[in-house]
């Protein structure tokens, strides 16, 4: 499904990104494996993870090159896309998968924890996409897949920075889809579930947490790759501006916020009438204060 195409996959040195890169290559794409080889929290750097992914692709008869530039800077993100142009002369698909975690309860979260996560996830998705947009406009084609998370779509404890970035990515994707539709460019989001480095830090101090981890360990990263590859292929023509999810063998489509109930007062509203009339009328439709695990209460299948 990707014959003749060049794909850039960020954060492809392991986990979900590695599996997407491998499947892209197995479907005929030439792949730029972009990964700085940093720790889970974003420190350090190494070529080894990207080299390992490249080796796995080549062992299976595919083609890949690496790029160890960071997504979190404007100029370094430009170099990631330029690597595709230098090695293969084109770019047709971008998967914004790179990420780090700096989890912590909101009232203890530091400015550095906030800025670092926003820089990689949200800024990085913009910088890499913006760099690719120049080539997409020239060729009047291209696809983006941005990795979001139910942490932002629904909610999780101790992840204010990550959740804000991941929900922001869905708005970025929709804006790209709207702005670049005239150039036949598609932009979609994928919210994956998988046991990987990004989830291995989940605490297991309670029976409930242990049960959640046991479920997560069944969801291997490769389960998310087919949808990412499809969304980057020509078979996904006409699919844009959507938020999809993958969980084990499930694929689902998320709704976008829309008005779900309206109250009207021809005399206008006062704080008192809002309290006595509007809120009681709206309360039955309030969103629950739940987490991803509560919203997906059934076992992955």
Q: What's the pLDDT tens digit per position in 239-266? A: 999 999 999 999 999 999 999 999 999 9
Summarize the confidence of residues 10-14 as an average pLDDT. Answer: 97
Summarize the confidence of residues 132-146 as an average pLDDT. Answer: 98
Which residues are designated catalytic? 162
Sheet holding 243-247, edge to edge: 63-67, 30-34, 6-10, 93-96, 142-147, 185-192, 243-247, 250-253
Return d(Cα 73, Cα 294) in angstroms, integer: 36
Cβ atoms of 170 and 148 within 8 Å: the answer is yes
- Can you read off the two tokens belonging to residue 128? 């890499």
pLDDT above 70 for 212: no
Q: What is the pLDDT of residue 9?
A: 98
* Structural domains present in the chain: 6-256 (3.40.50.720)
Q: What is the pLDDT of residue 197?
A: 54
Query: What are the phi and psi torsion angles at 195 (to 5°)?
Result: -85, 115
Mean pLDDT for the chain?
Answer: 94
CA angle 271, 274, 279 (to 5 degrees): 140
Q: What is the pLDDT of residue 209?
A: 65
Q: Scanning the structure block, which residue is given the tokens 């770019």?
A: 91
Residue 43 pLDDT level (bands cut at 50, 70, 90):
confident
Q: What is the pLDDT of residue 206?
A: 75
Least confident of 24-28, 43-47, 259-263: 43-47
Q: What is the pLDDT of residue 194?
A: 80
Residue 201 pLDDT level (bands cut at 50, 70, 90):
low
Return d(Cα 35, Cα 45) in angstroms, integer: 9
Cβ atoms of 160 and 109 within 8 Å: the answer is yes
């Amino acid at each position: 499904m990707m014959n003749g195409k060049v794909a850039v996959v960020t954060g492809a040195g392991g986990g979900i990104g590695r599996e997407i890169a491998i499947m892209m290559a197995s479907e005929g794409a030439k792949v730029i494996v972009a990964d700085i080889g940093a720790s889970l929290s974003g420190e350090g750097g190494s070529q080894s993870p990207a080299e390992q992914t490249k080796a796995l692709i080549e062992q299976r008869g595919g083609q890949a090159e690496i790029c160890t530039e960071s997504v979190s800077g404007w100029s370094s993100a430009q170099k990631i896309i330029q690597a595709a142009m230098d090695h293969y002369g084109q770019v047709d698909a971008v998967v914004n998968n790179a990420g780090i975690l700096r989890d912590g309860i909101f009232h203890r979260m530091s400015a550095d924890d906030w800025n670092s996560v926003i820089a990689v996830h949200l800024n990085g998705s913009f910088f890499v996409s913006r760099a690719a947009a120049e080539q997409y406009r020239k060729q009047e084609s291209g696809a983006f897949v941005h990795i979001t998370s139910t942490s932002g779509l629904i909610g999780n404890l101790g992840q204010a920075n990550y959740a804000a970035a991941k929900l922001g990515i869905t708005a970025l994707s929709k804006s790209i889809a709207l702005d670049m539709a005239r150039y036949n460019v598609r932009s979609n989001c994928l919210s994956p579930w998988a046991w990987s480095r990004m989830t291995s830090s989940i605490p297991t101090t309670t029976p409930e947490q242990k049960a959640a981890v046991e479920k997560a360990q069944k969801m291997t990263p490769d389960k998310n790759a087919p949808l990412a590859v499809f969304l980057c292929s020509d078979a996904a023509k006409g699919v844009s501006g959507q938020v999809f999810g993958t969980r084990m063998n499930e694929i689902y489509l998320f709704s976008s916020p829309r008005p779900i109930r309206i109250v009207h007062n021809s005399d206008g509203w006062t704080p008192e009438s809002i309290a006595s009339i509007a809120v009681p009328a709206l309360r039955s439709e309030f969103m629950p204060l739940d987490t991803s695990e509560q919203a997906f209460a059934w076992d992955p299948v």
